[in-house]
Structure 1
Amino acid sequence: MYRQLKQELIDYSKDIGIDKIGFAAADPFLELKQRLIQQQELGYASGFEEKDINKRTNPALLLDQPRSIIAIALAYPSKLDGAPKGKKGERRGLFCRASWGEDYHIILRKKLHLLEQFLQEKLPDVQFKSMVDTGELSDRAVAERAGIGWSAKNCAIITPEFGSYVYLGEMLTNVPFEPDRPMESQCGTCTKCIDACPTSALVQGGQLNSQRCIAYLTQTKDVLPEPFRKHLGNRLYGCDTCQTVCPENKGKHTLRHEEMIPENEQVKPLLEPLLSMSNKEFKERFGRMSGSWRGKKPIQRNAIIALAHFKEVSSLPALANALHEDPRPVIRETAAYAIGQIGGREAEAQLHEALLREKEEAVIEELKKALQSIRSVL
């Protein structure tokens, strides 16, 4: 009966637009548990994860007598058609591919809800617990065990069909579905992702120091540590480097889901207008994207660093306004850094003026460093 139900569920998943589905045993993830303990001891965890490692690795703590886990994957686009190009005076930032279109949490939860309803119609007493990204279980560990793809050296799941450009979700259930076979890694001796990582966050194949990862750093709300600022480039949210260099992703571009199609002006916005954007304007423009979940502050901070990266002289008035008027020390401190990077007499004058009125010690220190940087050039 369960073998037939599994096939019916597979067929139904295709009908509702799920690109891949796999089934795994609900046994504890013992190897993952040891890796997570090591990550915590090394200080490599991001802090965004579920804090309780036991909950992350033992499905029995999340559902009474779980028997299997259903893993799903939805493929997302990797290319921007007709993307606007930034130029002098009109510099643009970039949101990573996983933030294009509608928030993937919403998209996957809708698919999982449909699978839940399907199972309830077949088995009225079925128990389940679904999760996407922010749930207790590791999406990648479940997907690997369920044969969705293999766990790659860049810490992503790579599927033969769609590369690593897939969103993942899962459902714990008390139905004893027969598990699928995991895939063998196809990474071989390739180390392109490790070699290309801008901040050397990929310590080795399959091990990530999240504290150094640009995808993580773009989501923090504090001042970005100086050693990482020059690596940010024009990234506003996330980082795709370890995916774009992967040979398995070459030629992989999927447009199966209309809600994932990116709006070019949304994912490659002009940088300068972001600095003066209100909370309401930010939510109206970016609220449906997953990249908006931390609010506008990290995006504005990153936009300022991007303007510093371009040394965009025309943005000096906007940066000076942020330096003098913004009530948030993080924004003022970052603006001081950017003005120092742009340099010139006008930048020097703005920094001097700010130094006379600034009360926050960290901002004062950044102002002094920025002035010293400009003087050394002048």
Structure 2
Amino acid sequence: MNIQELQQEVIEYSKTIGIDKIGFTSPAPFTELKNRLLRQQELQYQSGFEEPDIEKRVRPDLIFDKPQSIIAIAVAYPSKMKVRVVSKKGERRGIFCRASWGQDYHHILRKKLKMLEEYIASKVPEAKFKSMVDTGELVDRAVAERAGIGWSGKNCSIITPEFGSYVYLGEMITNLPFEPDSPIEDQCGTCTKCLDACPTGALVQGGQLNSQRCIAFLTQTKGFLPEEFREKIGNRLYGCDSCQTACPMNKGKDFHFHEETEPDSEIAKPLLKPILHINNRDFKEKFGPVSGSWRGKKPIQRNAVIALAHYKDESAVPDLIKVMQEDPRPVLRGTAAWSLAKIGGPEAKMALDHALGLEKDEEVLAEIKTGLSRISQ
């Protein structure tokens, strides 16, 4: 087997199956990353969605027997909708982040990695693989950075010269000794636009993120959202693109290479009021194919309630009253009370007064009382 020839064949094949960029790196431990992860742990900046064992995140040899190299891939996704829908009075809309516009990227990349595995195995039957996308042990961005896919920007995203940071990442550990590529030089320079654009100050400094303050993380939580973040979320239903849209490297970057990454605008930017009352079956049918649905409908519904307050949408008051009075989940009832107080008006105040005498949950009661104190001012 000529490994250089095989590597070139793999590169050429990857282009035919919709992999927009491919790179190779060694399976050596990610020593510098380990220090950063330990610091994140010490500061309690993790999201809690990560692999908890830091050693597994930085040592490929702990998750794969005798690894020889890692293949990193990137697939570009659009930053603009071909079919635009407009949020207007009485028909306000929420927004999913761009990474969740098309079909679930986990499925898209896993399919491409599987095809890559099968291709390599057809050439080298004894080849072994372990592929992962996002939910695996390794840190996708660290692998991609070392494999020359792009550099790690101050916004903690991989930025490629070709596609900006609008790329999905995945990787494959293998027992084949492919030749490693060289990392790309950091091109952020003195720019701090992403840090300046972060609504909650989650980007502590270039390359350091406090996930607990990141809107992308907060939109995925299921409990009551701390009040300091409610105003910041705006109309976001899932994820946040502020640090990406502010990045000069993303200016003019919009690629529509893959049908499966194209957004359905009614899903990517849906009407808010119908979300409040959607049942499990309809939610799964409408939003199930996108990655933003992975935490279920509760966070999306809570965020929709907050978004209606952001718009001060008076037409939503009856819907919010129904949620406050009838929803079995305290988080939805309490958030609806907060939203009604933000929108204000006699109907909202009357509903809050009425709910005060009926509600039993202490957290919801606290939201109602706070709302009444504000609406009376």
Aligned twin of 2:298: 297
Shift of residue 82, structure 1, vs aligned partner: 3.1
Aligned twin of 1:216: 217
Deviations 1:335-375 (A, max 9, x none): 01000101111111100111111010000001000000000
What pairs up with 1:155-194 in 2 under 5 angstroms?
155-194=156-195
Shift of residue 127, structure 1, vs aligned partner: 1.3
Aligned twin of 1:63: 64
Q: Aligned partners of 2:146 and 2:77: how far apart in 1?
A: 22
Deviations 1:113-138 (A, max 9, x none): 01110111111111110000000000
Aligned twin of 2:322: 321
- The answer as to 2:358 corresponding to 1:363 is no
Aligned twin of 1:253: 254
Specify the code of the residue in structure 2 equivalent to 1:251.
G
3-state SS of 1:357 partner:
coil
Shift of residue 81, structure 1, vs aligned partner: 2.4
What pairs up with 1:206-285 in 2 under 5 angstroms?
206-285=207-286
Q: Aligned partners of 2:237 and 2:340: how far apart in 1?
A: 18
Q: TM-score, normalised by structure 1?
A: 0.99
Deviations 1:76-127 (A, max 9, x none): 0000123111111110000000001110000000000011101111111111
- The answer as to 2:68 corresponding to 1:82 is no
Aligned twin of 2:29: 28
Alignment RMSD (CA, Å): 0.5
Aligned twin of 2:94: 93
Aligned twin of 2:13: 12
Q: TM-score, normalised by structure 2?
A: 0.99
Q: Aligned partners of 1:83 and 1:340: how far apart in 2?
A: 31
Q: Percent identity?
A: 66
The worse-fitting range, judged by mean Cα deviation, of 134-143 and 343-352 is 343-352
Shift of residue 20, structure 1, vs aligned partner: 0.1
Q: Aligned partners of 2:111 and 2:345: how far apart in 1?
A: 53
Q: Aligned partners of 1:113 and 1:188: how far apart in 2?
A: 37
Q: Aligned partners of 2:82 and 2:319: how far apart in 1?
A: 30
For structure 1, the residue ranges without an aligned partner over 5 or more in a row are: none
Aligned twin of 1:54: 55
Specify the code of the residue in structure 1 equivalent to 2:340.
I
3-state SS of 2:376 partner:
helix
The worse-fitting range, judged by mean Cα deviation, of 296-305 and 340-349 is 340-349
Deviations 1:26-77 (A, max 9, x none): 0000110110010011010000000110110000011100010000000000
Q: Aligned partners of 1:322 and 1:147: how far apart in 2?
A: 50
Deviations 1:238-292 (A, max 9, x none): 0000000100000000000001110111111100000000000000001000000
- The answer as to 2:237 corresponding to 1:200 is no
The worse-fitting range, judged by mean Cα deviation, of 218-227 and 119-128 is 119-128
Q: Aligned partners of 2:243 and 2:135: how far apart in 1?
A: 22
3-state SS of 1:172 partner:
strand
Aligned twin of 1:105: 106
3-state SS of 2:148 partner:
coil
Q: Aligned partners of 1:294 and 1:124: how far apart in 2?
A: 39
3-state SS of 1:72 partner:
strand
Q: Aligned partners of 2:86 and 2:33: how far apart in 1?
A: 42
3-state SS of 2:136 partner:
coil
Structure 1 residue ranges, 4+ long, deviating more than 6 angstroms after superposition? none
Q: Aligned partners of 1:334 and 1:318: how far apart in 2?
A: 13
Specify the code of the residue in structure 1 equivalent to 2:15.
K
3-state SS of 2:357 partner:
helix
